[in-house]
Amino acid sequence: MATKDKLTAAAAGAALALVVSRYLKKQAPYDASHDEVRAIVRPNIRKLEPYRCARDDYEQGVLLDANENAYGACVKSDEALVQAALKFDLHRYPCPHQRVVKDRVASFRGVKRDNVFVGVGSDEAIDLLFRVFCEPRTANVVVTPATYGMYKVCAATQDVQVRSANLLPESFDVDVDAVESQVDANTRLVFLCSPGNPTARQVSRQTVERLLASPKLQRTIVVVDEAYVDFAPEPSTAPLVKRYPRLVVLHTLSKAFGLAGVRCGTAIGSPATIHYMNAVKAPYSINKMTSCLAAEALSSQSLAALKAVVKDTLRERERLAARLAALPYVCTVFPSDANFLLVRLKQHEKAKPLYTKLAESGVVVRYRGDQANLSGCIRVTVGTPSDSDALLKLLGEVAPSFGLV
């Protein structure tokens, strides 16, 4: 080849290399975390082709693709609430993507949209985590009693073994060594409730990171259930998902946000985890009214209201805790990082009959004396000052009948 031709070929090759280099720089870098999560996902879920609903393709136009009732909802009522609901065009399916809600959740929790899953309360997210990661009759999960009861319910539904690593007595701290001792090659989920329900104890960030770094948990998803985190002294662990792909953090609008009736919760995790959860979930699970209220709850105006409500709740929590601790038959009012108090009676056997009497008399608390290390305990939600006063007044009336003085 002539020298001129060689130089031309070399120049062309250099130009092509430059173009390729510039192209590759524009592409998203390879993310090894996707493989880390994918290796834990059930094989059949990896192969799953998600259901594609009509609104995945088009959301506007003359919509003749979803077999909806084009004439509108067949609901006739003069009730103002019903009339308001019908303005949401309820004869049309909702958008399945929840973009506004996800963007506002991401901004509030310090993550990105592709880190956010929106579901029917956090309970849907818990159920989906079992379905995505736990092979029935093979996988196991680890819980830390005393804790939220739905983990065991979901495990039983999916035919997954549950192993327990009890919280440390009195302090209710996570016993990391105990958790690690329960983990084996088939452990797919470890649940940490933070603040704990019913213990009201927040799990430290150091504990979460220690478990994520543990060699024994390298094929295990660590799930931090933060339903009550907005009342807690330390912020959410959600931003840690950017560093730990095997972390999932659950939240709900049912507690501090005061929207228990709309049933909306979120899971925050790696994009790979969120992808698989969305692949398994039912289409259109979030209705239009829930989506609207969830988005508004995360507006700047509503978040300011949230801070005010949390402040009032914490103030009342301290007042109620002091009043309950002063009762002669109360052994312990445990420190709380949530919007409830765990209270232990000196006479443990009196806790359940007292709970029953209070409920029959119109004030309902929760008996928790049948859970690990909680003998003689009841759980009391922090309500309004008038709610607390009603409880204290009724305790003064019924306690003597149980010999509690």
3-23 average pLDDT score: 43
Question: In the predicted model, is pLDDT for residue 23 greater than 50?
Answer: no
Average pLDDT over residues 152-158: 97
Q: What is the mean pLDDT of residues 36-46?
A: 96
In this prediction, residue 198 has a pLDDT band, given cuts at 50, 70 and 90, of: very high
Q: For 234-265, how does the pLDDT look when each residue is reduced to its tens digit (9 = 90+)?
A: 999 999 999 999 999 999 999 999 999 999 99
- Per-residue confidence (pLDDT) for residue 20, from 0 to 100: 34
The two three-digit tokens of residue 315, written as one number: 């103030």
b/e 20-56 (16+ beta carbons within 10 angstroms → b):
eeeeeeeeeeeeebeebbeebbbeebeeeeeeeebbe
Residue 308's pLDDT is: 98
Q: Among 29-33, 80-84, 97-101, 187-191, where is mean pLDDT lowest?
A: 29-33
Handedness of CA 152, 156, 157, 158 (dihedral sign): positive
Is 225 within 8 Å of 250 (Cβ atoms)? yes
- Mean pLDDT (the chain) is 92
Pick from 85-94, 156-165, 219-228: least confident: 85-94
pLDDT, mean of residues 202-215:
98
**Encoding tokens for residue 101?**
């809600």
**Alpha-carbon distances, residue 110 vs 115, 194, 208, 337 (angstroms):** 10, 18, 18, 21
pLDDT at 325 over 70: yes
C-alpha 377/C-alpha 366 separation (Å) is 9
How high is the pLDDT of residue 53? 83
**Residue-level pLDDT at 57:** 83
Lowest mean per-residue pLDDT among 43-52, 110-119, 210-219, 240-249: 43-52
Q: Are 379 and 198 in contact (CB under 8 A)?
A: yes
Q: Is the pLDDT of residue 39 over 80?
A: yes
* Residue 96 backbone dihedrals phi, psi, to 5 degrees: -80, -5
What is the reported pLDDT for 7? 41
- The torsion defined by the Cα of 107, 113, 115 and 121, in degrees rounded to 10, comes to 80
pLDDT at 32: 67
- Summarised one tens digit per residue, pLDDT across range 76-99 is 998 998 898 888 899 999 988 999
Return the ∠ at Cα 166 (arms to 162 and 171), rounded to 5°: 150
Q: What is the mean pLDDT of residues 60-84?
A: 89
pLDDT number for residue 17: 41
End-to-end CA distance of the chain: 107
Residues 120/142, Cβ–Cβ less than 8 Å: no
333-359 pLDDT per residue, tens = 999 999 999 999 999 999 999 999 999
340 CB-near residues (< 8 Å, 6+ apart): 198, 200, 379, 380, 381, 382
Residue 55 has pLDDT above 90, yes or no: no
pLDDT, average across residues 14-18: 42
The pLDDT of residue 60 is 87
Global pTM reads: 0.90
